[in-house]
Amino acid sequence: MPYLFTSESVSEGHPDKVADQISDALVDNFLAWDPQSKIACETLVTTGQVVLAGEVKSRTYIDVQQIARDVIAQIGYTKSDYMFEAKSCGVLSAIHEQSADINQGVERAKKEDQGAGDQGMMFGYATNETSNYMPLALDMSHFLLRELSAIRKEGKLMKYLRPDAKSQVTIEYSDDNKPVRIDTIVISTQHDDFASEKAMQDQIRKDVINILIPRVMKSYPEYKRLFNNKIKYHINPTGKFVIGGPHGDTGLTGRKIIVDTYGGKGAHGGGAFSGKDPSKVDRSAAYATRHIAKNLVAAGVCSEVLVQVSYAIGVAKPMGIYINTYGTANVGMSDGEIAKMVESVFDMRPYFIEQRLKLRQPMYSECAAYGHMGRESRVVSKQFRSADGKTKTMKVELFTWEKLDHVAKVKKAFKIK
């Protein structure tokens, strides 16, 4: 029987995402000047205030206040009307040195013996229902908000838009788990005040359907067929949404972990990503399991797969690797046998994950909004300024875990031609 599945996304101006982006900007700036930095930084944002806290071990010093303000300005909180503005908000730092007790479990005489920065389990997922091997409902939810953000920053249409926004997409699937159509789209966007609430709702609904949706369809041609005139639209369903961002809700690092990953498909181990250097397996192993899952599906081992890895703090070798192909395996092997083969192809010790995916680059700010998975791997030029005014320009490879660079190795291991 056909069924419905729903995922949501939030914009870069959502308060939790503001916090994530500040935390990851701190990570990038520490890594830019000292790639061996150990970082665990949390951010809280509320009306007119930013609070930074966490533990750091680094040979560099960065201007955390200015970095936070730069992120806030880049997102678009640049007007006093928002009650949270880049130049005037208070920034309080309570960052201190990392615990030596934790550090001794991570650093080793031999780099390859580096222990996991924490215990826990991490999950990666991939499906062939989209070209980037992501669940469709989440992918479309992200895309809607990226386009809405682009419209806001262009400043030519929908000039009333403010930074905070949320989306939700419900997809109808057939009996054989294939997406058939879009059932419902929900968009809630912060906006300037209108003279009339009805005029506001009518205008935003009209603009979403006549401006945003056509842009998404044009940019997302492979799924144009899923759009139809029967889609149920809920546009700003609560009515007025003038008060938003950190003034409307307090934001905290790590509160959007399902948005960051697979939109409720597969599973999640519970650990957030933003604000952490790659010695924290919450982050690095989640990227590594996505890398495995995507390469398995791309190689034709299966059509859909969930990969789990688990660690003990201070121990390099994982406790185990688990594979679930949901009955879609094409290689005549059980999921347990596939897991053993995966173990032989991908070294999941933390040091080797860092090396394989080049995770000690300042590559994390770009992850902190619109999902860490399903993005395009590319090389960009980034500039960093130290606290004493020095500047550094670096070539940085982003989203390395999205590369299909192990397909040939996987095919060889599984004897796929």
Binding residues for Mg(2+): 16
What is the β-pairing status of strands 38-46 and 49-57? antiparallel
Tokens of 27: 């990570």
CB 36, CB 62: distance < 8 Å: no
Neighbours of 303 (CB within 10 A): 18
What residue numbers does the annotated binding site cover? Answer: 14, 16, 42, 55, 98, 164-166, 240-241, 249, 255-256, 272, 276, 280
What residue numbers does the annotated binding site for ATP cover? Answer: 14, 164-166, 240-241, 249, 255-256, 272, 276
What residue numbers does the annotated binding site for K(+) cover? Answer: 42
Give the closest residue to 27 by CA, choosing from 366, 270, 376, 394: 366
Residue 160 DSSP symbol: T
Give the closest residue to 242 by CA, choosing from 353, 312, 160: 160
Helix axes 350-357 and 281-299, enclosed angle (nearest 10)? 60
What residue numbers does the annotated binding site for L-methionine cover? Answer: 55, 98, 249, 280
End-to-end CA distance of the chain: 35
C-alpha span between 135 and 244 (Å, rounded): 28
Cα atoms found within 13 Å of the Cα of residue 329, Cβ hemisphere only? 16
